[in-house]
Chains A and B, each alone.
Chain A
Amino acid sequence: MAWNEPGGNRNDNDPWGNGGRRGNDQGPPDLDEALRKGLDKLNQMLGGKKKGGGGTGGSGGGQSSGGFGAVLAIIGILFLGYVIYQSFYTVDEQERAVVLRFGKYHTTENPGLRFKVPIIDSVTKVRVTNVRNAESQGQMLTQDENLVSVDLQVQYRVGNARDYVINVRDSNQALAFATDSALRHEVGSSKLDQVLTEGRAALAINVEQRLQNFLEQYGTGLQIVQVNVESTQPPSEVQEAFREVQRAKEDEQRLVEEAETYRNKIVPEARGRAQRMLEEANAYKEEVIEKARGETARFVELLNVYRDAPQVTRDRMYLDTMQNVFSSTSKVLVNTESSNNMMYLPLDRLMQQRDTTTTGTNATDTSGSGTDVQALTDQVMDEIRLRSNSSVRRGR
């Protein structure tokens, strides 16, 4: 109902009847007093005149006429003072004053001290710079027929004081209704997920446009400053399910990260192993090549000598080698051509002999019998191989 001052005081409900009264409230408080003082002085002056004229004129009549004139004068001055007092008003920086002359729109005044014609002009002040607030909230349907709770705040101000005063009886109520409608319309045209997440900014913009259209259509003179979508939530009945989705998202992230951890562990390890394999291969390569170079270098040196004196070198090498071989090995020499087919080799003795050579290193080893058996087997195998070799040779 407070149509010129939304949420404001009720004093200003009807500017047509009480337009002037506002000035009274805001006028200097000592004006009445000053007037009264002036009147008192006037009274004294008139009283003096009455005393002076009392001797010449009639007794009662003169006195009464003088009194009547005084009263008239007082009324006149009072009236004049009131008129002057009523003719000025101030407009605050945050206000504009809409002036109606004989009820017709006359002008809109800017801040400052203003003059008006008493009775004829009526002034309505409107706060235009103040940003006002309206809220709309509730549960509403989305395009995909889900429900969503939206909390919206509209900030607006009076853009056109004339329209605000003249066109609409209750602009603020119109705005409240229009906000509800615009919000629900836009939410109804959006999908739930959009409203809940990235579509909120767009929602605010759309509501603002739609709302501004409504306000212009009704000629409210209001202007939207900003529309804030303060919160969009699923209804409390289904919030748990929405939180579950959130948790599921986290789980997804976690599973992926665990897998990535696994990958970050095994792939570098594999690369490390690969590196080792390559290095080992390189090492082998270098080794065999170097070995070959070394061995061949030794051979070539020897060959050079050999070429100078082949027979001597050959004999020397042979004998050196034989000496080394025979001096470090147990030997059994068999003349196969003269021996019969049954050749007896005293293996037990050989064994004993071998034992005595190994006791130096393995005397205290109690578990040596196993290795001894193994060694013995090796020896037997060697014997047999040698024998078969020799039999082949024999045939030659």
Chain B
Amino acid sequence: MSPKAVLGLAGALIVVLIVSSSVYIIPETHRGVLLRFGELIQTDIEAGLHFKVPVIDQVREFDVRVLTNDLPARQYLTIEKKPLDVDSYIAWRIQDVDQFYRATGGDELRAISLLQSRVDTGLRNEFGVRTMHEVVSGQRDELMEQLVARIDETVVNELGVKVLDIRVKAIELPQSVSENVYRRMRTEREKLAQEFRSRGRELAEGIRADADRQRTVVLAEAFATAEETRGEGDGQAARIYADAYSADEEFYRFYRSLTAYGQTFSNKGDILVIDSDSDFMRYFGDLQGQARN
């Protein structure tokens, strides 16, 4: 009974072993290849539960998730021979596990280093036909798209790798060039500062001039209006006088003369030298005033 049980147990164990070694699971993130005596007999095995012949068959799994790898910063020359320090990264994944296994032996690091040198060459070429301005602002997208297209074409077939994207992280000027840029920026700012100050003076001068003009105009207008008003006053007064005095011009003359005399000689200090023959003295010796004429 007991040896039987042991035997049964051992048998069960062997069965479990065989089953477990003939069943394998490929997770969703991976793809597998099946090798029989080193020969690739099944490729691109999808996720799920699969069977194989124990011992004879071997399974290799490859992570087919997207990978992003930083590429080392390199210096590239633009078409105008300006050096730029370029830091980039690459997003890629294993597309054709079969080819990938053959090309790299399933070694991601090797794949990266192969990709890296291709990207390096590609970037050098793309930078070499563009100006710095195009690289920095205008054509980043085009540059990258062309580069990706060119590299992807070859590496899919050669490495079994799909390049999703190559992106420039940083395009920087070398330190020596940066100094020049700083100097230029400073000069630009100085220019701007000068412009602000001068414009301030210009505006201020304009405002002052305008103020002076306003003052002059206001005063001149006031003067004009004032003179006009005075003139009106004089005119009206004259009309009043004329209206009144024209009623009897002779009497007015007489009356006005008398008023004038009275006002002229109102001070004891005044001295009056009179020709007794004058009209003024007309009545002096003749009450009727007729004697003279």
Q: Which A residues fall within an 8 A CB radius of B?
A: 16, 61, 64-65, 68, 100, 102-105, 122, 138-143, 145-147, 165-170, 173-174, 177-178, 180-181, 184-185, 188-189, 192, 214, 217-220, 234-235, 237-238, 241-242, 244-245, 247-249, 251-256, 258-260, 262-263, 266-267, 269-271, 273-275, 277-278, 280-282, 284-289, 291-293, 295-297, 299-300, 302-303, 306-307, 310, 314-315, 317-322, 324-326, 328-337, 345, 350, 354, 357-358, 375, 379, 382-383, 386-387, 389-390, 393-394
Contact = CB atoms under 8 A, between A and B. Distances in A.
Contacts of B205: 259
Contact of B283 (A64, A284, A318, A332): A318
Interface in B206-235: 206-208, 210-212, 214-216, 218-219, 221-223, 225-230, 232-234
Contact of B271 (A64, A102, A267, A354): A354
Contact of A146 (B185, B203, B265, B281): B185
A296 B272 contact: no
A188 B137 contact: yes
A103 B27 contact: yes
A188 B136 contact: yes
Q: Is the interface of A mostly helix, strand, loop or mixed?
A: helix
A263 B65 contact: no
B193 A259 contact: no
Interface of B: 1-2, 5, 25-30, 46-49, 63, 65-68, 70, 89, 91, 132-133, 136-138, 140-141, 164-165, 167-173, 178, 181-182, 185-186, 189-190, 192-197, 199-201, 203-208, 210-212, 214-216, 218-219, 221-223, 225-230, 232-234, 236-238, 240-241, 243-245, 247-248, 251-252, 254-255, 258-259, 261-262, 264-279, 281, 283, 287
Contacts of A333: 274, 276, 281
A188 B171 contact: yes
Nearest to A286: B233
Given A181-B167, A241-B193, 14 more contacts: A104-B48, A141-B172, A184-B169, A248-B200, A263-B214, A277-B225, A278-B226, A288-B233, A292-B236, A303-B251, A321-B261, A326-B272, A328-B267, A334-B276
B273 A386 contact: yes
A274 B222 contact: yes
B244 A300 contact: yes
B222 A277 contact: yes
A334 B141 CA distance: 122
A368 to B, nearest CB: 13
A12 B247 CA distance: 128
Contacts of B199: 252
Contact of A263 (B66, B207, B248): B207
Contacts of A248: 192-197, 200
A80 B259 CA distance: 146
Nearest to A304: B247
Given A16-B27, A177-B89, A181-B89, A241 B190 contact: yes
A387 B197 CA distance: 76
A319 B262 CA distance: 11
A329 B66 contact: no
A102 B194 CA distance: 74
Nearest to B90: A177
B244 A241 contact: no
Nearest to B243: A296
Contact of B275 (A65, A288, A302, A390): A390
A251 B185 CA distance: 21
Given A145-B181, A238-B186, A258-B204, A303 B47 contact: no
Given A296-B244, A328-B266, A147 B261 contact: no
Contacts of B274: 331-334, 386
Contacts of B247: 300, 303
Contacts of B136: 141-143, 145, 188
Contact of A104 (B47, B91, B208): B47
17 contacts: A65-B2, A103-B48, A141-B172, A166-B28, A181-B168, A255-B201, A259-B207, A288-B236, A288-B237, A306-B248, A319-B283, A321-B259, A328-B266, A329-B268, A332-B271, A383-B271, A393-B277
A238 B225 contact: no
Nearest to A337: B277
A253 B197 CA distance: 9
B219 A345 contact: no
Chain A to chain B: the 5 pairs with minimum beta-carbon distance, closest first: A285-B233, A252-B200, A274-B222, A296-B244, A281-B226
A68 B233 contact: no
A36 to B, nearest CB: 25
A251 B200 contact: yes
Contacts of B132: 145
